[in-house]
Chain A
Amino acid sequence: MPVVDIAPSILEQRSRRDARHERLFRWLLKGCALIVLAALLGAAGATLWGGRDAFATFGWHFLVSSEWDPGNDVYGALVPVYGTIVTSLIALLIAVPISFGIALYLSEVAPAWLRTPVASAIELLAGIPSIIYGMWGLFIFAPFFADHIKPWLTSNLGNKPDDGKLSWVAQHVPFVGKLFGSDYPFGASILVAGIVLAIMVIPFISSVMREVFQTVPTRLKESAYALGSSTWEVSWDIVLPYTRSAVIGGIFLGLGRALGETMAVTFVLGNAMHLSASLLDPGTSIASTIANQFSEASGLQKSALMALAFLLFVVTFIVLLIARLMLRRLASKEGR
């Protein structure tokens, strides 16, 4: 039998070539991964750089001034910031209990054969593009709201009822009258934007909640059932405390989505640059101010819009950071 003789130099050459390719490949992959980092840093840097004139001109006043006057070139962020925060909070107030209900239904209540189809249907909601929510809000929900819900709210809760008679609630409960008082005739308003946002974030929050509810060890739940707990008591006293941090993470994830949402909100906010205590009056948000004004803006106005974008980016970044940290805490508990 002839012995195949491979010269050691060929082997060496080959292993050197492999090592070279390996190094190149590694650098290529790492470079691609660093693009993710570059995108985040770049977005923050570009908006900060674009907004430098506005920050330099107005300083801290930019954050607290409610004036937005392109005629006199004076800009303050308070009205859009207020609109962004209030619409997102309304969205969470509505979406969190409903999402919890959905997650509870899907993990404890529904019969097994119904769980997957219902869960996929709810997740379909997350797939619908935001502009569709915007159109639905503008052409269908806002008119419906103006015809059927708003009259009831203004006459039973508001301080500006059509017939001039203040309801008991408006007289005796502080703030409520102001929140629901409005003589503006259309549906587009901060409350409608909050409701549309709520529908948009429900699938995100509920799918996180459902996922983390399923990570609760069965023996924990079974022990509680064995002691005679009801389904509700198991959910409230065992499942929820066990998953608390991840549930909060899911809620913050929804908040991050709601804060940065542009199209759905722009359609139904009414685009009004003034501060009003009433939830039934039109308003604006950071994202919708940018969407409405950026293409026609120049000079200091453009810079002010960039500065708004920077604020939005920083705030959502912090919210999402908290969300991911909270979600991770449960994951590490699982791994232990």
Chain B
Amino acid sequence: MNSPYLRRRITNALAMLLSTLATLVGLAFLAWILWETLRRGISALDLKLFTKITAYGEDGGLANAMVGSLIINFIGIAIATPIGVLAGTWLAEYANRTKLGESIRFLNDILLSAPSIVMGLFVYTIIVLPSTALTHGSTSFSGFAGGVALALIALPVIVRTTDEMLRLVPSTLREAALSLGVPQWKLTLQILIRAARSGIITGVLLALARISGETAPLLFTAFGNNYMAINPIEKMSSLPQIIYQYANDPGDAMHALAWAGAFVITMFVLLLSLGSRLILSRTKVSHD
């Protein structure tokens, strides 16, 4: 065997080895992070997490934070879903290949990875500051403001999936409906969105998974509240915000509570993304 040939084989073997190693490194970190979250989270699980509020500190639970998270996420999704679906529909059905449509599709992709803390400050400026000024300081931070901040983060995810899913709908469906004289708005609402329904739902679930772990945009909008708050115009705590607060606390009992919260969020997010992937893979099969 001559030497350049040998050298090429060795280079090749080395590259293959390194790429396998890189994959193992990635998987190892995934396993490490999940393992620690599971181990420390499960050992801190306790019924009081769900029954007591954070006002009791070490002896308390996370009930108000969980309720707060549910309410804020619900507001976020309730705002982002209709706007996102309609905007995505516009991109796919009305503005496909127009200049404005292309630019908005492009900017939506940028919004998808824009820093979430800046979105928090934006909502602080447009909702928290005016509401403080209008009510002379009696309301300022609110669960509603937190929901709007999360809606801004969920919006681009929903727009993008709706857009992509509608463009997957075969154009024969559109042609068939149009040839029967169906107006385009009826075609869009009653046929196309229905055909792309499962894909759009997946997008909403993915958006929910994305926002339920978000912390930074909530710090200056929903702020936090050690007592149970149901009314969205009050300050509201959320799981990520409590985790942030407790992890920075010196006490070990607080750390255990933070791990329990981290475990709850991680499970929720992983189940959501697994579930949405299942929906997606099932529909893909049924289309074939």
Contacts and interface: CB of A to CB of B under 8 A. Distances in A.
Interface in A1-54: 18, 21-22, 25-26, 28-30, 32-37, 39-40, 42-43, 46-47, 49-50
Contacts of B155: 35-36, 39
A257 interface: yes
Contacts of A124: 30, 270, 273
Contact of B247 (A33, A267, A291, A316): A267
A306 B87 contact: no
B233 to A, nearest CB: 19
Interface stretch (B70-78, B131-139, B171-179, B215-223): B215-223
A257 B113 contact: yes
Interface string A86-118: 000000000001111110111011100000001
B89 A43 contact: no
A216 to B, nearest CB: 16
B83 A32 contact: yes
Contacts of B93: 29
B213 interface: yes
Contacts of A174: none
> Nearest 9 CB-CB pairs, A to B?
A129-B213, A101-B22, A260-B115, A29-B90, A25-B185, A230-B12, A46-B125, A262-B216, A232-B15
B22 A102 contact: yes
A191 interface: no
Contacts of B259: 135
Nearest to A204: B113
Given A140-B36, A320-B114, 6 more contacts: A32-B90, A33-B90, A40-B110, A135-B37, A136-B33, A139-B247
Contact of A32 (B22, B87, B125): B87
Interface of A: 18, 21-22, 25-26, 28-30, 32-37, 39-40, 42-43, 46-47, 49-50, 97-102, 104-106, 108-110, 118, 120-122, 124-125, 127-136, 138-140, 199, 202-203, 206, 230-233, 235-236, 253, 256-257, 259-263, 267, 287, 290-291, 294-295, 306, 309, 312-313, 316-317, 320-321, 324, 328
Interface residues of B, number: 84
B240 A256 contact: no
B119 interface: yes
Contacts of B209: 127
Contacts of B104: 33-34, 36-37
B110 A32 contact: no
B266 A132 contact: yes
Interface string B81-111: 0111011011101110000010010111111
22 contacts: A32-B83, A36-B87, A36-B155, A36-B159, A46-B121, A49-B125, A98-B26, A105-B20, A127-B269, A127-B270, A136-B37, A138-B247, A206-B26, A260-B114, A260-B116, A263-B216, A309-B118, A312-B117, A313-B114, A313-B118, A321-B110, A328-B106
